[in-house]
Amino acid sequence: MMLAFSRISLQQLQVENVGVDDANIFFVYAKNFAEGHGFVYNTDGERVEGFSSMLWTLVLAGVFLVFSEPEPAILFLNLLFGAVTLSCLVNFIGEWISRSIGKPIPPFLGFSGFILLAWSLLSPGFVIWTTITLMENGLWTMLAILATLQMFKFAHSGESSLPSRISFALLLALVILCRPEGMLWSAVLLSCAFLGHWLLDRRLGQAVKEVIIPAATCFFTVIGLFAFRIWYFGYPFPNTYYAKVSPDRAYNLIEGAKYSVRFHLSHWVLPVLTLVIVLGVWKLSLSVFRRIRFPDSNNSAQHPSEISWGLISAVLLVGGIIPILVGGDHFQFFRFYQVVWPMLPLPLLMFVGPIVAERINLSLRSKALGLILVTGLLLILPRDSWFDIGPSHRIRSEFNIVKRDRALGDILNLSFTDTDRPSIGVVAAGAIALVYDGKVIDMMGLNNLDMAHAEGDRKGRKNHAAFNKDVLLRQSPEILTPFVVESIEILATAHKELLANSKKHPNEDVLKGLRREQRFLDAYQLGALRILDGKLLGGWFRRDYIESLSGRLFYPVIDS
């Protein structure tokens, strides 16, 4: 089913299997690492952690070692991750309800399992971000959900076996290595495992003993990761953190809160699910309070299903808060929330599922009608449904950037020799760096240490606010924002429109008004260079680079 829906995504959007530009940044590092250059953006450049997942980069490096065209293999991996994730979720809820009511329910035919599948697959955002974007979302979602389910089993297992502790510990280590927020996820999962043992088994010492191996594994994984980063890159956090996250915590919280509100308004069911999650965490908090207040009394005993509901809810609540803490994201379909998306109905299903299964005996016809009704509501009522996915959808632009910049990289490679390829400054830094054999300077700082660590409030266009004018002029790329243009007149018109738009919406100008400053105009000239097959390469050209050109026609835009 994941394969079918991913194919629908590609066909509806009318895009090729090339991933989004951020995925191509992963490809750049994976390719360079596989070729023996290490974790670098430019093959002869600085070591920089310009990617958000160490584990995914290593996985991709293995793919690049085997395949010359890696995209189909990467899509296959994402489809495999998605299939494993949904299969485990459906089996989990079926087994849990079956144990709760004391009679077997076919896992893949049960009403709750069907709802989980429908909830996930009828969400274009979940399918697109975990498959065809070719990002780490598929791996991250699988690991986070498998670790959550393992936590649940671990917490309910009484005195667990050594293999069970080790498997839980390994999953937590992979979660930490997969995403920066994996450290918080693992801490929450570890805490929930301890609480589950403590509340259900009522022996503090045994609960501590159960989590020693997973806790030690998390500790040494985090210490090892920080030590490696400081030794190899010189900084404790990924470069993307310094480039994206504003030092103003209040600003991050405000932007993150807006992101969360938009997310909850995107689907009619989300406020209900969130309310159930909050209620589950409240119930869990009451259980902990009573356990502390009456450690040896029967008053501390709680119904296991309430604790189960609370443990899953606690994980989902923290997973929902993390995007708020980092200030949200700029991509369509709420990328940061896709990791919790398949699990969001779990607390509600755990709360009402056993009651419905045990007390309401519906006929086969009524069940079928119910499933059809649920499918219809999930399909037509969300703000972004499958009916809205098409060539005009905004998410398509993320794929178009890749196609455009890969073509530009090929043109640049053919237009210049190995010894005279100019350095270029770019905003979208993935696809162009994957293809172009010259030096690429990421002006947004994700793959640029000086830019990421320069002073600035990181306010403005989300994830594109690290740009520093002084750093750029110091790094001084020979061509700025290159692109193929049909004529010099079109270039001049486009420039005027850009200046007018940036003046009207200054926060949308990622170069922060640099193109109006005299020091920039003294150093750069807007124009077009005649290149391969008579094509024109437009952009801002460093004036001394223009003077060094020989045998090439350059057309300046006058009064730019």
Residues 380, 415, single domain; the answer is no
Distance between CA atoms of residues 400 and 552, nearest Å: 30
Domain count of the fold of the chain: 2
The DSSP annotation for 64-96 comes to HHH-SS-HHHHHHHHHHHHHHHHHHHHHHHHHH
Average pLDDT over residues 135-150: 96
Residues 142, 113, single domain; the answer is yes
Residues 362, 503, single domain; the answer is no
Tell me the residue range of the domain where 243 lies. 2-388
Averaged confidence pLDDT in the chain:
88
Least confident of 106-110, 168-172, 481-485, 496-500: 106-110
Residues 384, 402, single domain; the answer is no
Range 290-296 contact pairs with CB under 8 angstroms and sequence separation of 24 or more: 291/198, 291/199, 291/202
Residues 280, 416, single domain; the answer is no
Residues 19, 141, single domain; the answer is yes
Distance between CA atoms of residues 265 and 374, nearest Å: 19
Residues 330, 434, single domain; the answer is no
Last residue of a domain, one of 388, 423, 450: 388
pTM beyond 0.85: the answer is yes
Residues 363, 471, single domain; the answer is no
Q: What is the pLDDT of residues 334-380, one digit of tens each?
A: 999 999 999 999 998 887 766 665 555 656 666 667 667 777 777 77
Last residue of a domain, one of 337, 370, 388: 388
Distance between CA atoms of residues 341 and 336, nearest Å: 10
With a pLDDT cut of 90, the percent of the chain lying above it is 58
The DSSP annotation for 221-261 comes to HHHHHHHHHHHHTSSSS-HHHHHHS-S-HHHHHHHHHHHHH
Instruction: Evaluate if residue 156 carries a pLDDT over 80.
Output: no
Neighbours of 256 (CB within 10 A): 20
Element (H, E) at 52: none
Residues 406, 357, single domain; the answer is no
Q: State how beta strands 440-442 and 424-426 pair.
A: parallel
Residues 229, 128, single domain; the answer is yes
Tokens of 291: 């356990």
Q: What is the pLDDT of residues 58-105, one digit of tens each?
A: 999 999 999 989 999 999 999 999 999 999 999 898 888 777 766 666
SS3 at position 291: helix
The pLDDT value recorded for residue 508 is 77
Last residue of a domain, one of 348, 364, 388: 388
Residues 337, 401, single domain; the answer is no
> Which residue's entry shows tokens 């403005």?
460
Residues 475, 512, single domain; the answer is yes
Question: In angstroms, how far is the first alpha carbon of the chain from the final one?
Answer: 53
Average pLDDT over residues 29-47: 95
Q: What is the pLDDT of residues 426-454, one digit of tens each?
A: 999 999 999 999 999 999 999 999 999 99
